[in-house]
Amino acid sequence: MNKNQLAITAFVIVAILAIDQWVKYYIKTHFYIGEEINVMGEWFKLHFTENYGMAYGLEFGGKTGKMFLTLFRIFAVCGIGYYIIHLIKKGAHTLYVVSWTMICAGALGNIIDSVFYGVIFGYDEWFHGRVVDMLYFPVIRTNFPLWFPIWKGEDFEFFRPVFNIADASISVGFILILIFQKKFFKDETESNQEEITENSVVEEKNPE
C-alpha cells in the first residue's frame, strides 16, 4: 500500500471535515435563520439556511425520506471508503484518489449534520438533523426577456442554491474526475497491462 497516498487521503479527509464543521458550527451559533451578510459585494454572501434533504438545499420525502437518505449516505460512504483503499493498493493516480477522497469527506460532513445536529442543538432526534448551508453566490440577477417561452419576464438568478463546504468538496471531486478521466483511466489501463506482463513473465520462468 502506498503510504504517501494513505497519508494524503487522511489529511484531505481531516482538513475538509475540520473546515466544514467549524464553518457550520460558527454559522449555527452566530447567525439566525435567514440572516445574510455580504462577503464580496453582491455576488458572494453568507446566508444561513438549513435543510432536511440532499446537496444544495434539495428536499427528499420528509422525515421518512430524511432517514432513508441518511442511511443511504452512510452505506455510500462505506462503499467509497472501500474503493479508495482499493485504489491506493492498486497504486492509482494520486489525483484520482484525492478526488474520491474529497467526495467521501464531503459526504461525511453532511452525515455528521444529519446524524448528530438534531440532538446536539436540541431540536430533533438522532438521524434527523438538518444540514447547515451558508455559501451563496448570486452572481447573476436578472429577468427572462418577455419573448422567452414559459418563464417570460420571471426572475432569473445564477447561482441560486445555498450550499456548504461539504457540498463544494463533493462537486469539486466529481469535476476533477470528469476533467481528468482520460488520464486517470489511461494510467489504470497501463498499470493493468504492466501487471499482466509481469505475471506472464513469472509464468514463463516457472512453468508447471
Which helix H or strand E contains 78, and what residues bound it? Answer: helix 62-90
pLDDT digits (tens, 9 = 90+) for 69-78: 888 889 999 9
Select the more confidently predicted residue: 198 or 67.
67
- Residue 59 near residue 53 (C-beta atoms within 8 A): yes
Q: What is the pLDDT of residue 201?
A: 47
- 187 flagged as catalytic: no
pLDDT above 70 (res 206)? no
- 167 flagged as catalytic: yes
Q: pLDDT exceeding 90 applies to what percent of the chain?
A: 62
Q: Which of 20, 155, 167, 187 is catalytic?
A: 167
Q: pLDDT exceeding 70 applies to what percent of the chain?
A: 85
Mean pLDDT of the chain: 87
Q: Amino acid identity of 196?
A: I
Query: How many CA within 13 A on the CB side of residue 65?
Result: 10
pLDDT digits (tens, 9 = 90+) for 12-40: 999 999 999 999 999 999 999 999 999 99
Q: What is the pLDDT of residue 183?
A: 87
pTM: 0.83
- Residue 135 near residue 164 (C-beta atoms within 8 A): yes
Buried b (16+ CB within 10 A) or exposed e, 138-177: eeeeeeeeeeeeeeeeeeeeeeebbbbbbbbbbbbbeebb
Q: Which of 124, 133, 155, 187 is catalytic?
A: 133
